[in-house]
Amino acid sequence: MALIVQKYGGTSVGTTERIQAVAEKVKKFRDSGDDVVVVVSAMSGETNRLISLADAISKDPVPREMDVLVSTGEQVTIALLSMALQQIDCDAMSMTGGQVRILTDQSHMKARIQDIDESRMREALSAGKVVVVAGFQGVDEDHNITTLGRGGSDTTAVALAAALKADECQIYTDVDGVYTTDPRVVDSARRMEKVTFEEMIEMASLGSKVLQIRAVEFAGKYSVPLRVLSSFEDGPGTLITIDSEENMEQAAVSGIAFNRDEAKLTLVGVPDIPGVASKILRPISDKNIEVDMIVQNVGLDKKTDFTFTVHRNDYKKAKAVLEEVCEKLGAERAAGDNDIAKVSIVGVGMRSHAGVATKMFEALSDEGINIQMISTSEIKISVVIDEKYLELAVRTLHGAFDLAQEH
């Protein structure tokens, strides 16, 4: 008999009929003798709807109250799924994050899990029940409700699997696994049998929303066997595995990620003297704005252009800060661009293959796509381009690295 943690995402519980279908699926596992803990998201669109209600009332809602609001979506689905299970004679019990006692730090809207009390879940499992836990939420030590950041139900599932030492954590979603790139953008994207934790962490952090990055980090750290599967059809899905020799032999590039959530800012004509980079970025970080890519070009006239990217939500705030910095440093002007996108190729095989970057840049230039910024690490290369070429760039690179074929 195995202990399985299953997570069903928003689309999978998007209607009452779908919730009933999830109940049938859970019951099958239960009938075959497995113990099952189910984590659910809010019904699709619900979290966005709740956020827009807050937006209508306040420009800058207090984070504590935002968490009280957005955590309600998951409370609805745990109750409905438990009822659906009881209706088909499968004993079940719902639990909120606070009822389990998923203890987090106090960072509202991006809280980190610190501890999980598994005793109430174990008690319910021993009584023969399916335990249905609300994803995305926890409580801090003062009993305030917290949430784990968008897509956080994935992290709840992995964290529960780690705490309960489950045999597998299964993430059920609206695609049947992890693909070489978003299958909604490239028709020929291919489902991967396996992907390494290392690659999956890069893919997630570079924009592949199929798994929340923290969930993958957590699974890697605690060696939780993690699989992504379809809610709607049977199949093997994709297993996230630890790095192996075998993987080192594989193709240079295994996947392509992209992200439309960034904006670019440039300070033009900055005097090229020591300390300038920190003078530009310090006031940005003082406003709690995270910086992603950074590029500095030195011109011949002892002046430099300093470019960096931030989350699009922070663009206006960052631009205002940069305008002040511009004046202080005696730079020429502060410029910005909201219509950019970042495309990244990812693969552990890149370490042992030369010429991957050249191939990437050539493929983009053959399509007339201009590269505005570049950043690299051992297993990824990212470029910033004009947003209007994003889909073309992803398709082009998918073809150039022959990702539709298994290697």
Binding site for ligand ASP (CB under 6 A): 9-10, 41-42, 47, 73, 135-136, 150-154
Interaction of residue 349 with ligand ADP, rule CB under 6 A: no
Q: Are 406 and 254 in contact (CB under 8 A)?
A: no
H helices present in 168-303, as ranges:
197-205, 213-221, 245-248, 276-286
The continuous run of DSSP H or E covering 345 comes out as: strand 340-346
Q: Say how many Å lie between the first and final Cα of the chain, rounded.
A: 36
CA 214, 220, 223, 226 dihedral sign is positive
With CB under 6 A as the contact rule, the residue among 71, 104, 156, 208 that binds ligand ADP is 208
Q: Which does 47 bind (CB under 5 to 8 A by kind): ligand ASP, ligand ADP, Mg ion, none?
A: ligand ASP
Least separation in angstroms between residue 341's CB and ligand ADP is 14
Residue 152 binding partner per list ligand ASP, Mg ion, ligand ADP, none, with a CB distance cut-off of 5 to 8 Å that depends on partner kind: ligand ASP
Binding partner at 136 among Mg ion, ligand ASP, ligand ADP, none, C-beta below 5 to 8 Å by kind:
ligand ASP
If the CB atoms of residues 175 and 265 are measured against ligand ADP, the closer one turns out to be: 175
By residue count, the chain amounts to 407
Residue from 23, 39, 210, 284 in contact with ligand ADP (CB under 6 A): 210
Stretch that binds ligand ADP, among 174-182, 245-253, 262-270, 329-337 (CB under 6 A): 174-182
Query: Which DSSP letter does residue 255 get?
Result: E
Cα separation, 272 vs 301, in Å, equals 9
Q: Helix, strand, or coil here: 161?
A: helix
CB 390 within 8 A of CB 340: no
Strands, E assignment, 157-241? 168-173, 194-196, 226-230, 238-241
Q: Give the amino acid at 93.
A: M
In whole angstroms, what is the distance from residue 274 CA to residue 257 CA?
35
Q: Is the dihedral of CA 318, 323, 324, 329 positive or negative?
A: positive
Chosen residue from 151, 152, 269, 349 binding ligand ADP by CB under 6 A = 151
Question: Residue 210's binding partner, choosing from ligand ADP, ligand ASP, Mg ion, none, with beta-carbon cut-off 5 to 8 A by kind?
Answer: ligand ADP
Helices H, strands E: what count in the chain? 14, 20
135, 138, 151, 347: residue in contact with Mg ion (rule CB under 5 A): 151
Q: Output 177 or 269, the one with its CB closest to ligand ADP.
A: 177
Residue 175 binds: one of ligand ASP, Mg ion, ligand ADP, none (C-beta under 5 to 8 A by kind): ligand ADP
Task: Pick the binder of ligand ADP from 4, 5, 6, 11 (CB under 6 A).
Answer: 11
Picked from ligand ADP, Mg ion, ligand ASP, none, the partner binding residue 178 (CB below 5 to 8 A depending on kind) is ligand ADP
What span, in angstroms and rounded, lies between the C-alpha atoms of 369 and 382? 14
Choose one: 113-121, 176-184, 354-362, 397-405; the region binding ligand ADP (CB under 6 A): 176-184
Q: In the complex, which residues of this chain contact ligand ADP (CB under 6 A)?
A: 9-12, 41, 151, 173-175, 178-179, 181-184, 208-210, 255
